[in-house]
Amino acid sequence: MKIAVIYGGISPERNVSIAGGRAVIDALRAKGHEVVPIDPAFGADQERKAETLTSNIESFATQEELSQFTPRNIIDCFASNLFDGVEFAFILLHGKYGEDGTVQSLLDLRGIPYTSSGFQASAIAMDKITSKNIFLANHITTPPWDVLTPADADDETYLMQVKKILGKNIVVKPADLGSTIGLTRIKDATVEDIADAIRVAAKYSSNILAERYIEGRELTVGILDAQTFPIIEIVPHEDFYDYKHKYSKGSTNYICPAEIPEDIANFICNMAVDAYKALGCTNIARADFILDHDGQPYCLEINTIPGFCSTSLVPMAAKQLGIEFGDLCEILIARALQKRKKVK
Q: Which residues are catalytic?
A: 13, 179, 247, 286, 288, 301, 303, 307
Residue 164 CB partners (closer than 8 Å, separation 6+): none
Sheet holding 2-6, edge to edge: 34-38, 2-6, 88-91
90, containing H or E segment = strand 88-91
Can you say whether the dihedral through the CA atoms of 203, 204, 206, 209 is positive or negative?
negative
Query: Is-contact 122 95, C-beta < 8 A?
Result: no
The dihedrals phi and psi of 336, each to the nearest 5 degrees, come to -65, -40
The dihedrals phi and psi of 66, each to the nearest 5 degrees, come to -80, -15
Q: What would the DSSP string read from start to end of 94-131? A: -STTTTSSHHHHHHHHHT--BSS--HHHHHHHH-HHHH
Taking every pair of Cα atoms in the chain, the longest distance, rounded to a whole number of angstroms, is: 61
Residue 177 CB partners (closer than 8 Å, separation 6+): 11, 12, 13, 95, 96, 204, 205
Residue 260: name the closest of 287, 284, 283, 292 by CA.
Answer: 292
Rounded to whole angstroms, how far apart are CA atoms 254 and 16?
Answer: 19
